[in-house]
Chain A
Amino acid sequence: DGGITQSPKYLFRKEGQNVTLSCEQNLNHDAMYWYRQDPGQGLRLIYYSQIVNDFQKGDIAEGYSVSREKKESFPLTVTSAQKNPTAFYLCASRSWTEGIKAFFGQGTRLTVV
């Protein structure tokens, strides 16, 4: 079945550690996105990528990094520079084809302990 897979679903991290969240899609979508969701904040864009080996900062990129070495994969690293990393992280992808909606993964809930 085609879709987007985020892993892990739950992640705990100690302060000062970097952690990488996985996002894989087998939909052959060109564009991929990372969002952060906090209570009452909606979805805020962290990074997005249109093609392999290219990505752009979103509205809240500080403290995060990404890579797009393969079309199917868009991992997000939450670095120790991110001051408030505890949140729900959602990955999405969409096709270039006009009218194709964005699909979302099930999300990763990151908790810093």
Chain B
Amino acid sequence: EDKVVQSPLSLVVHEGDTVTLNCSYEVTNFRSLLWYKQEKKAPTFLFMLTSSGIEKKSGRLSSILDKKELFSILNITATQTGDSAVYLCAVEESGGSNYKLTFGKGTLLTVNP
């Protein structure tokens, strides 16, 4: 079973729309949740969330974590064609001295002009 589930798997919107991407998780010893943007090759870091209810914001992007309900959302307002990418959610869990970083399948966002 997948420990990190992202939805939707793909999304097509028009420039200017607002989108919400979802990430739910189920791990035993949660440490942090991370969001990445992948356009071509290497994913680039967006946010790291460790505490519930505290919104992280960067320009038109924002994200929040709910540790009680085990999910996070990534919001993008006033979307632009440059926002087209795969958005990846990852959860870090600790197991003794080991820290495992597990990714979801990603959400493919396409922003049309």
Residues of A within 8 A of B88 (CB): 42-43
Question: Is there an interface contact between B98 and A56, defined as CB atoms closer than 8 Å?
Answer: yes
With A41-B105, A42-B105 given, is the CB distance from A50 to B45 under 8 Å?
no
Question: For the complex, would chain B's binding face be called helix, strand, loop or mixed by DSSP majority?
Answer: strand
Number of A-B contacts (CB under 8 A): 56
Residues of A within 8 A of B98 (CB): 48, 50, 56
Q: Which residue of B lies closest to A91 (CB)?
A: B42
Does A64 interact with chain B (Cβ within 8 Å)? no
On chain A, the number of residues with a Cβ less than 8 Å from chain B's Cβ atoms is 27
Please, what's the 1-or-0 string for B26-48, where 1 marks a CB less than 8 Å from any CB in chain A? 00000000100000011111001
Residues of A within 8 A of B104 (CB): 42
Residues of A within 8 A of B50 (CB): 98-99
Report the Cα distance A41→B101, complex, angstroms. 16
Does B102 interact with chain A (Cβ within 8 Å)? yes
Q: Which residue of B lies closest to A101 (CB)?
A: B45
What are 5 A-to-B residue pairs whose CB atoms are below 8 Å? A42-B105, A50-B99, A90-B43, A101-B34, A104-B44
B contact set with A: CB distance below 8 Å = 6, 9, 34, 41-45, 48, 50, 88, 90, 97-106
